Amino acid sequence: MKIFLVGFMGCGKSTKAKQLASLLACPVIDIDAVIVEQQQMSIADYFAANGEAAFRQLENEMLKSFDYPETCVVATGGGLPCYFDNMEWMNQNGVTVYLEMTPPQLVSRLHNRDKRPLLKGMDDEQLLTFIVGKLEERNVFYHQAKLVINAFDLDPKQLLEEIKSLN
């Protein structure tokens, strides 16, 4: 089973992917980390050098061309489900899980904003406004996930049980 974790930046996709992979004794694939390794530069640097459109194209190619093991947990970038037919592709190729959080919960978790190209220089109020707006755009994609779960203080064993109950 391939599990694709989707959700807004800061919702815990990378952390939950590691925890789930540990419980399942399977590999974890972090799409952003694979891109960083392949491109030999941070996501922020890639954004700055090539722009968002080029990054979204690269992300799309990485998602669809990666040689996934039979069982694995995949952490996606926050915007990945919202471009091309990525959400549809993930739904066809595995179990999608939207790690949902409220805008204030996300603000409370997004401390190191300079590492995130879309958040650079924002204070908490600006960030909250930005998150509310982005979630309005993205929720139509996020809510196509096979499982939508409140990710704040989410226990990985509970998450795994919810995923298993889908089959």
- CA dist 9 and 131 (Å) reads 9
Q: Where are the beta strands (DSSP E) in 7-137?
A: 28-30, 72-75, 95-100
What are the pLDDT digits (tens) for 103-132? 999 999 998 777 777 788 899 999 999 999
Q: What is the mean pLDDT of the chain?
A: 95
User: Rounded to the nearest 5°, which phi and psi values hold at 42?
Assistant: -70, 160
pLDDT tens track, the chain, 167 positions: 999 999 999 999 999 999 999 999 999 999 999 999 999 999 989 989 999 999 999 999 999 999 999 999 999 999 999 999 999 999 999 999 999 999 999 999 998 777 777 788 899 999 999 999 999 999 999 999 999 999 999 999 999 999 999 96
Distance CA(136)–CA(1), nearest Å, equals 30
Each as own residue / partner, the long-range contacts of residues 40-46 (CB below 8 Å, 24 or more positions apart, any chain) are: 42/115, 43/77, 43/117, 44/114, 44/115, 44/116, 44/117, 44/120
pLDDT at residue 114 in the model: 75
Q: Which of 134, 113, 64 is nearest to 92 (CA)?
A: 64
Output the pLDDT for position 143: 98
